[in-house]
Amino acid sequence: MPNRLTQWIVGWMKLQRDNATRYKCPNIVLQSQVFQKGSSSNGCEATEEREMASGSSNRVLRTKRKPQPMDDWERSWLEHWSKAGTAGYELPKTGEVGAEAAFLTEVRTLEKEMERLKRVQDEFVRAMQGLYEIGPAVTVFGSARFKEDHPYYKLAREVGRELARAGFTTLTGGGPGIMEAANRGAFEEGGKSYGLNIILPHEQAPNPYVQKTVDFNYFFTRKVMLIKYSCAFIVMPGGLGTLDELFEAATLIQCKKIGPFPSILMGAKFWKGLQTWGGHMMKHGVFEKEELGFGRITDSPREAVELIVHSMPLQLRKILKPPRPVKASRGKTR
C-alpha cells in the first residue's frame, strides 16, 4: 500500500503531464526524462484564445508568447532537486545507515520504531558521556569546502586562536574547511579542540586538529550536542548546513529555549545578502523589526570573542583558564 510520499509523487507527476498537454510543452522534465543541460527555454508555447463576434461570424485570434528563459534556480531544481524515489541511491544498504534506508522505504511498525528510538538514545548517551567535562565552549559553524589558502579558512583559524586565548573550548563539526581551521587555531594556541564528526556514505574523517572526537550517525543528534554544550555561536561563511545551524540557534534563542547566548556572524561582506533578505522578509510581514540583527556581524575575531566573554555571568568568567602557549604540532584524532 503506497504511503503518503508515494501518493504525493504520483499526483505531482500527473499534474506535470496535465500541464504539458494544456500548454503544449513537450520538453517539461519529469523524473523519467533526461534533463537537457544548456537549454535556454522550456519549449513551451502558451496560447490565448479569444472569440470575437462580428455579425454572424466568429473570429478566433491566437497570441503566441515567446519562451521564457530558464534561470539558474529553475535549472538547478530540475537537474538536482526534483528527483523523487527511494533513498537507495544515497544511503548504504548495510550497517546502521542501511537501517535508516529501510526505515524510509518500508512499512513502519511499533517494533521498528522502538528499535530506531533505541539507536537515537544510544547516540545521545555516547555524546553526553564524551562531552560533559568540556567546560565553557563556543561552537564554530562554517563550510567544509574552504581550503587552507582561502581567506575564510585563515579567518576561522584566527577565531580558534582567540577562543583558546580566552580559555574557551573550540567545538566544531570535526570535518575539513572552516571546522578544521577553527580546531587548528585552538590547538596551535594550546586550547581545547573538540570535533563532533558526522558519519556519511562517503566517510568524513575527523580533521587532524581535534583532541577528542565524538561520531554521529544522525545530523539532528549532532546538532543538539553542538548547541547544548555551547555558550555562544560563531558562524563563518557556509552553505545549507551552516544556515540550518545558524537558524536553529537563532530560533532557540528567540523562543527563549536556550540562552540568551550571543550569535556572531564572521565576514561582513559574505553576510550582506542575509541582511538584505531580512529586510525583504520584514516587508512581507514574516519578520518583526526587532527580529532583525539576531547575529552580530564583524570581521574581527578578537571583537567576537570579547563580546562573548562580556556576555557571560561573572561566576562563569572566573572559570575560564587561558592556556600557556605551546609549539604547534598535529594533535590526536581520538
pLDDT tens digits for 37-68?
A: 444 444 444 444 444 444 444 555 555 666 67
- Which among 258, 252, 238, 250 is positioned nearest to 291, based on CA atoms? 250
Mean pLDDT across the stretch 122-151? 95
Mean pLDDT across the stretch 67-95? 68
Q: Which of 28-42, 104-118, 145-159 has the highest mean pLDDT?
A: 145-159
Residue type, 98: G
**Confidence (pLDDT) at 200:** 81
As a whole number of angstroms, the distance between CA 161 and CA 26 comes to 58
Cell of 137: 565552549
* Bridge partners, 57 (sequence order): 54
Contacts of 138 (CB under 8 A, 6+ apart): 163, 168, 169, 170, 171, 230, 231, 232, 233, 234, 305, 308
Beta strands 263-266 and 193-198 are: unpaired
- Which among 117, 32, 40, 109 is positioned nearest to 74, based on CA atoms? 40
Question: Whole-prediction pTM value?
Answer: 0.72
Q: Answer with the residue of higher pLDDT: 240 or 53.
A: 240
**Confidence (pLDDT) at 201:** 72
pLDDT in tens, 154-193: 999 999 999 999 999 999 999 999 999 999 999 999 999 9
Strands in 212-216's sheet, in edge-to-edge order, are 212-216, 193-198, 169-172, 137-141, 233-235, 263-266, 296-298
Q: Which residue segments constitute the domains of the chain, with CATH numbers given?
A: 136-317 (3.40.50.450)
**E strands, the chain, in order:** 47-54, 57-64, 137-141, 169-172, 193-198, 212-216, 233-235, 263-266, 296-298
Mean pLDDT across the stretch 201-219? 88
Determine contact, residues 139/224, Cβ cutoff 8 Å: no
Determine contact, residues 226/210, Cβ cutoff 8 Å: no
**Confidence (pLDDT) at 23:** 46
Range name among 87-96, 142-151, 290-299 with the lowest pLDDT average: 87-96
Determine contact, residues 186/135, Cβ cutoff 8 Å: no
Contacts of 287 (CB under 8 A, 6+ apart): 278, 281
Quick one: what percent of the chain has pLDDT higher than 90? 53
**Confidence (pLDDT) at 94:** 60
Q: Is the pLDDT score of 211 beyond 70? A: yes
Q: Which residue has the cell 575564510?
A: 152
**Confidence (pLDDT) at 290:** 85
pLDDT confidence of 69, banded at 50, 70, 90? confident
- Which among 205, 220, 223, 200 is positioned nearest to 141, based on CA atoms? 223
Q: Is the pLDDT score of 125 beyond 60? A: yes
As a whole number of angstroms, the distance between CA 239 and CA 244 comes to 9
Range name among 31-40, 141-150, 256-265 with the lowest pLDDT average: 31-40
pLDDT in tens, 314-334: 888 888 988 875 554 455 444
As a whole number of angstroms, the distance between CA 73 and CA 79 comes to 10
Q: Is the pLDDT score of 220 beyond 70? A: yes
Determine contact, residues 153/178, Cβ cutoff 8 Å: yes
As a whole number of angstroms, the distance between CA 87 and CA 96 comes to 14
Q: Is the pLDDT score of 136 beyond 70? A: yes
Q: Is the pLDDT score of 230 beyond 60? A: yes
Mean pLDDT across the stretch 128-137? 94
Mean pLDDT across the stretch 272-301? 92
pLDDT confidence of 108, banded at 50, 70, 90? confident
Cell of 140: 564554530
Mean pLDDT across the stretch 264-282? 95
Tell me what the pLDDT averaged over the chain comes to. Answer: 80
pLDDT confidence of 128, banded at 50, 70, 90? very high
Quick one: what percent of the chain has pLDDT higher than 70? 69
